[in-house]
Copies of this chain bind each other. A is one copy, B any other.
Amino acid sequence: MSDPHDRRYVLTLGCRDRPGIIAGISSFIAEFGGSIVEAGYHSDPDTGWFFTRQAIAAATVPFGLAELRDRFAAVAADFGTETDWQVHDSGARRRAVLLVSRDGHCLHDLLGRAGSGELPATVEAVIGNHPDLGEMASAHGVKFHHVPFPKDPAERGPAFEQVRALVDEHDPHAVVLARFMQVLPASLCEHWAGRAINIHHSFLPSFVGARPYHQAFARGVKLIGATCHYVTAELDAGPIIEQDVSRIDHADDVRDMVRQGRDIERVVLARGLRWHLEGRVLVHGRRTVVFS
């Protein structure tokens, strides 16, 4: 059997459900002797939608990525015009750009994972609206850009344009708001749709917006959380990729929550980002299918 960690072609597909889709795809793969090392399927009775992710050992595919795509297009054509599918090569390293502000815990964590090879992406650049984290990026050998943001939100347009230009230069598979603390304008949400990923420091939909740990303290909750989600124009309302929580008690004040929360934020972001980069996340409306 192939090692599932070896290079593989990853097929993801979403389409209107009907009998025969799994048979169609698996017969197509079996025909050329492809070995499926991971297979996830999901039928959603509420939406009538079907989702799958299949990883085929690259060594068992007797042609290249382009031809695999061409051949599969003919199969997918049978599944209806709304069908959305992709094939990517796990051996082609992916690119990420990170947007940060002053809190460095998520940045430091992602740079560490990138350095050890755990994150399936190279960090192409780090962009900060403050200069504070420049040294951290540099120490990890990553280029840092400081783009100052005016105090007045109404005047931030040019700064966002500069960020956009710096990001787009790398055509990244992921634009990560690693505690960026700035609300993206709708045009950028649209532009990076499906690629911009945020970590919000609450268990959404609780405590949307600013200072969620202060809100959590005031409400007296017994667990705090973090949420990794795709960025959409509506604040903190995009499709959720991953969430987790941590127990607190009455002795924990806001500073304790902030400290404890960092441990959840780091892990939730890293997990969500990895799944995104490995093509494990399929979005449908406001919900995600995650073949973790």
Interface positions of A (Cβ within 8 A of B): 1-5, 17, 19-20, 22-24, 26-27, 29-30, 33-46, 48, 51, 60, 104-105, 108-109, 112, 115-116, 118, 136, 139-140, 203-207, 217-223, 225, 239-245, 247, 249-251, 253, 255, 259, 262-263, 267, 270, 286-290, 292
Contact = CB atoms under 8 A, between A and B. Distances in A.
B250 A287 contact: yes
Contacts of A219: 204-205, 240, 286
Chain A interface, DSSP helix/strand/loop, else mixed = mixed
B30 A37 contact: no
15 contacts: A1-B17, A24-B30, A36-B43, A39-B43, A40-B41, A105-B116, A109-B109, A203-B206, A204-B219, A220-B239, A220-B240, A245-B245, A249-B290, A250-B288, A250-B290
B240 A221 contact: yes
A232 to B, nearest CB: 12
B38 A43 contact: yes
A250 B23 contact: no
Closest 3 CB pairs of A and B: A220-B287, A23-B30, A23-B26
A112 B116 contact: no
A22 B22 CA distance: 8
Contacts of A221: 204-205, 240, 243
Given A1-B48, A104-B116, 12 more contacts: A19-B35, A22-B26, A23-B27, A36-B41, A38-B43, A42-B250, A105-B112, A203-B203, A205-B221, A223-B243, A263-B270, A267-B267
A222 B229 CA distance: 11
Contact of A139 (B1, B40, B139): B139
Contact of A45 (B37, B239, B243): B37
Contact of A3 (B2, B27, B45, B239): B45
Contact of A36 (B5, B22, B104, B108): B22
A45 B4 contact: yes
Contacts of A116: 104-105, 108
A223 B244 contact: yes
Contacts of A41: 36, 39-41
